[in-house]
Amino acid sequence: MKILDGNSLCMYDMYRIIYEEVYVKASDESMEKVKRSRKAVEGIVDRKEVIYGITTGFGKFSDIFIDQNDVEELQHNLINSHACGVGDPFPEVVSRAMLVLRANALLKGFSGVRPVVIDRLLDLVNTKIHPVVPEQGSLGASGDLAPLSHLALVLLGEGEVFYKGERMAAHIALKEEGIEPITLTAKEGLALINGTQAMTAMGVISYLEAEKIAYQTEVIASLTIEGLRGITDAFDEDIQLARGYKEQVNVARRIRTYLKGSQLTTRQGELRVQDAYSLRCIPQVHGASWHTLNYVKEMLEIEMNAATDNPLIFDDGEKIISGGNFHGQPIALAMDYLGIAMAELANISERRTERLVNPQLNDLPPFLSPEPGVQSGAMIMQYVAASLVSENKTLAHPASVDSIPSSANQEDHVSMGTIGSRHAHQIIQNVRKVLAIEAICAMQAVEIRGKEKMASLTQITLEKGREYIPYIEKDRVFSKDIEKAAVWLKNDNWVVFENSEIRENKLSVKGGD
């Protein structure tokens, strides 16, 4: 069980809630804060005070006073009118993360909602009823208004959900689980949709996938080093320490561990003096991406515990401030940075693949073909990797540098953070396929060299890989191999090296390097 309190949610907690489906519950202390905040909202309505979002309209309509009798209709109209997202739905795991993050934000006690609103969000998490939320339509500044409105619809018994592997009307799933829809009252609709939870949820899923891939790039790069009889001197600790980046030091350390005992690697001057950058500079390039991942994780963990709606209620209602915590700029920049960092891992991976298949750059069979000329081998796999890498370059264009005014120019600067998070996620899917291609080629190369000469850890990786992708004895439909290899990378629990221990990759979200 994970107790939510609005302040202590971390990436490892999110991993457990999203993928291991642990039960979630609100802390008693946080619920007391919620009740006090709610009492303040009810007092404002009773006294007919003019407070944005409680007794006024929204956005450009903020100067229009709303009568007490119209408060419930106002909130319902808000959700209906703002639920205008388009496109394919977010992955179900993202929808699940959105529910958790929205509940956690409300538990800070600054939003003025009734406890029942949070209870319903957590009910959806615990019964695995996940709202269908279209991916497109958020500017990422007044909060993720359109996506979160689709989420809020489900609390009202409207909209659609994913439930038990099917897409259905929300009211059907709620009825099956015995969950009563709610009617929103003052401030609650706005509190549900004024936030960054769509971009943050997409960011969390992207980070968790990216971290796993980042570890995998090092294992597969180690296979490639063996396949190309790479020089290990470049991974010596002294040269890493001389630069000073801890991420670079850690990458080199793990590479040395993976290659320990290998009879396929060489020393400088033995076959050649130095390797190409795509081998020699793995610690520097991969280390820089790890530095980015650490930054992104820090930003996401702050945002996961942030109050991001408007207005916010402090001191039990003594101070109510309309501000801009819903603006997604911190996450927008982090997501753009994540996309760029992951695209670079694909760039260098594709260059290693080229070195594995190009007969002018190695002494292996041309394109790793079992019968060069008659059979093409891995020739076109490199084309595919090059195509994906080029696609990533367009996706990596920063979304955060764009802005467009909305709400009659009241909301005149927006973050586009949700677009950035979606692009980062797509880049990560492409990176996995580029890495899958390198893995296929590297496994072929080391077996040509002689797998009995491999390091013990890379040999384990080879054995796992061969459960998915057989040795290339003749040309076949390699599209299937790439997809199988990508499934292997996504689903298998990879052994990785960290803190002088070998452990399962899925635990790396506990701390990382």
352, 438 Cβ separation under 8 angstroms: yes
Determine if the peptide bond prior to 311 is cis (ω within 30°).
Answer: yes
Distance CA 435, CA 411 (A): 41
Considering the candidates 15, 52, 163, 258, report the single residue annotated as catalytic: 52
Tell me the pairing of strands 312-314 and 319-321: antiparallel
Q: What share of the chain is helix, strand, coil (3-state, %, to 5)?
A: 60, 10, 35
Tokens 């190409």 -> residue? 276
Contact 341, 330 (CB under 8 A): no
Token digits for 286? Answer: 């991969």
- For the record, the structure tokens of 258 come out as 């993976």
Which pair of tokens denotes residue 236? Answer: 């010596």
DSSP per-residue letters across 296-347: HHHHHHHHHT---SSSEEEGGGTEEE---TT--HHHHHHHHHHHHHHHHHHH
Enter the tokens of residue 197.
């939870």
Structural tokens at position 129: 């009823």
Contact in structure between 79 and 117 (CB atoms under 8 Å): no
Active site residue 52: yes
Q: 6 near 30, Cβ under 8 Å? A: yes
Q: Which residues are catalytic?
A: 52
